[in-house]
Amino acid sequence: MSPPVPVSPARHPVAAAVLIAAAVLQLAAMAFHPVAHGDSAAERVASIAAQAPLSAHVHGLLILLVLAAWLALAQYSGPRAQRPLVRCAGRLYGLGVAAMSGAALVNGFAAGHFAARALRASETVQAAAPAVLLFAAALNQALAGFGTLLLSCGIAAWSLDLWRAPDGLARLVSVYGMAAATACAIAYLGGLRLDVAGMGAVLLAQALWYVLLGVLLLRAPALR
């Protein structure tokens, strides 16, 4: 006979610390996110090239933090992995992490590398650079949007599963998670542009859920 699947989450201080740290550091990293400037297309290409090293560092850190949060959530899900909502949450969130990582690789590495190379290339390449970077920006937005929807679905599934826990804090995490995930998905589908401000708002909504869940995991009883 298999052991019963726990309704309430078990105490996991390491996962809690990683979730809280990832939440805070993601918001801090967004404060340093570079933005291209310039009145002409050529000036914007030059701006992207000049900011390429900073962009790579910021997006590299964001990728590491998204992966860290995903691994922490996997540890949280471990004892509850037999629950259908928890299994779905892990898979949806994992796909969201892949999409968000792709968006960060495009914006933080591919675009800056291409812009820097284009400035030293032929006039034909320089003339085509704005169009290529425009496509890169569109690809970044598509991946970030898809990632936002998948992460929101994952957070909503975890939160819905938490509703069964009798603890009051667990119910708070559940309600906030479902509300935040729904709000992020509706905002994106309603036209929210995931630029620095838009993505910052999404990360802020997600970060509060990470912190609340982290506090819950610090307070929860240890598995016997």
Question: What domain range includes position 176?
Answer: 13-219
Asked, for residue 8, whether it belongs to a domain, the answer is: no
Asked, for residue 224, whether it belongs to a domain, the answer is: no
**Can you tell me the mean pLDDT for 4-26?**
84
Please report the pLDDT score of residue 223 as a whole number.
Answer: 38
Residue ranges of alpha helices (H) inside 51-83 are 52-77
Asked, for residue 4, whether it belongs to a domain, the answer is: no
Q: Nearest to residue 107, comparing CAs of 130, 76, 133, 128? A: 133
Per-residue pLDDT tens digits for 82-114 = 899 999 999 999 999 999 999 999 999 999 999
Per-residue pLDDT tens digits for 131-190 = 999 999 999 999 999 999 999 999 999 999 999 888 889 999 999 999 999 999 999 999
> Percentage of the chain surpassing pLDDT 90?
81
HSE-up (13 A, CA, CB side) for residue 36:
24
Asked, for residue 5, whether it belongs to a domain, the answer is: no
Q: How far apart are CA 117 and CA 24, in angstroms?
A: 34
Answer for the pair 51, 132: CB distance below 8 angstroms, yes or no.
no
- Structural domain total, the chain: 1
